A = this chain, B = another copy of it.
């Protein structure tokens, strides 16, 4: 029986989920893969904190450098949420020929090229299925798709907190602030929700998806990012009257001479696929030349779904499924996000002459709301820059 010794960096929700599944499913794992996973060391900040999942206290350490340097460790699971320290620890682990599996989208997004290259150089695995779409198997199928396909678009509902808030706003006609408060009480949103509601979390996930899908270096800076924190009950209702449902979508697509990538509230038709993705669920859609469009749906977060994705990666390491190779390419695609055009719903305090000139369909006069003619988003954002409370929603057609 092949045995994999694991060092766990972090013992929060996902780390505890990993320990719980290894404990409860150890026999099933042995039977289905012929491998045994054992947690040998766990990096924590506080040795004495009470945790829902118990491990023997001698496994814990507060010495961050112990695990990536420990010769008995084969595989490092990084689930800290931290960026700079975890980047350092992952580099050490790779240089010591340890495989790394992570759920940490922030560090993958920040150092995707560097980490992918270092892992391949050292002949070890670097897997991060849980960093996008939580429990949904999407990066492994995507890596299969890019072997044979040119991907022309990847888009998705990638943040459960935002989708939960938008679902409640749509169902109850409630305002953003109210629903956010309720979501925080229920644990669906963090005390500081900014990285979720401002779109940063979606931006990181889109950066990972688009870089893999296009074989291009699509960085966070290449992705225009608008959140859901400006949306009001009024906006959602105005869309509902037009048969539309609002979703925060990360969307990267190939265009003439390059690609456009944006995170933005999007109005999709009621009854469409994306309109059916509700609550904290996520979905990712990948369009490519041979296989057409495939979509993946499931729990985008949560202890067990995310830990399941982490452990599925660990079993790929154990059984050597997936090839050890840097999946990133650089086809030299040019970022054309600044040229992105569309039809937008806009709500703002004041109707300026410049805005009025863009009006395709009037929605309301107070607050002033309208749906534009086709316009460059950059131009629209400039016109709205004087109103910090203005909201913008991209209008999509039936086929979105």
| Residues of chain A at the chain B interface (Cβ within 8 Å) | 21, 25, 28-29, 32-34, 135-137, 140-141, 144-149, 270-273, 275-277, 289-299, 302, 304-305, 307-309, 311-312, 315, 319-323, 325
Q: Which of B146, B296, B305, B309 contacts A295 (CB 8 A)?
A: B296
Q: Which of B289, B305, B312 contacts A144 (CB 8 A)?
A: B312
Q: Which of B149, B289, B297 contacts A273 (CB 8 A)?
A: B297
Query: Smallest CB–CB gap between A141 and chain B, Å?
Result: 4
Closest to A28 in B: B148
A305 to B146, CA, bound (A): 14
Q: List 15 A-B contacts (CB under 8 A).
A: A21-B148, A25-B148, A25-B290, A28-B147, A32-B148, A33-B147, A140-B140, A270-B271, A271-B276, A273-B273, A273-B297, A291-B304, A294-B297, A297-B297, A321-B322
If A292-B298, A304-B290 touch, does A148 touch B322 (CB 8 Å cutoff)?
A: no
A319 to B322, CA, bound (A): 8
Closest to A142 in B: B137
Instruction: Check B273 against A21 for contact (C-beta < 8 Å).
Output: no
A33 to B305, CA, bound (A): 30
- 6 closest A-B pairs by beta carbon, nearest first, are A294-B298, A295-B297, A137-B141, A290-B308, A32-B147, A291-B308
Instruction: Check B295 against A149 for contact (C-beta < 8 Å).
Output: no
Contacts of A149 in B (CB 8 A): 308
Contacts of A308 in B (CB 8 A): 148-149, 290-291
Contacts of A319 in B (CB 8 A): 323
Copies of the polypeptide in the assembly: 2
Instruction: Check B276 against A292 for contact (C-beta < 8 Å).
Output: no
Instruction: Check A292 against B305 for contact (C-beta < 8 Å).
Output: yes
Q: Which of B148, B270, B275 contacts A312 (CB 8 A)?
A: B148
A270 to B271, CA, bound (A): 7
Tell me which of A147, A304, A315 has the highest count of chain B C-beta atoms within 10 A of its own C-beta. A147
A290 to B294, CA, bound (A): 23
If A297-B273, A302-B292 touch, does A144 touch B135 (CB 8 Å cutoff)?
A: no
Q: Which of B292, B296, B322 contacts A294 (CB 8 A)?
A: B296
Tell me which of A135, A290, A299, A320 has the highest count of chain B C-beta atoms within 10 A of its own C-beta. A290
A135 to B288, CA, bound (A): 11
Contacts of A305 in B (CB 8 A): 290-292
Contacts of A315 in B (CB 8 A): 144, 147-148
Instruction: Check B146 against A32 for contact (C-beta < 8 Å).
Output: yes
Instruction: Check B147 against A294 for contact (C-beta < 8 Å).
Output: no
Contacts of A322 in B (CB 8 A): 321
A302 to B290, CA, bound (A): 10
Contacts of A147 in B (CB 8 A): 28-29, 32-33, 312, 315
If A137-B144, A144-B140, A315-B147 touch, does A291 touch B295 (CB 8 Å cutoff)?
A: no
15 additional A-B pairs beyond A141-B141, A273-B276, beta carbons within 8 Å, are: A32-B147, A135-B291, A140-B144, A145-B312, A271-B276, A273-B273, A273-B297, A275-B276, A276-B276, A289-B304, A290-B304, A291-B304, A294-B297, A294-B298, A297-B297
If A148-B25, A315-B147 touch, does A292 touch B299 (CB 8 Å cutoff)?
A: yes
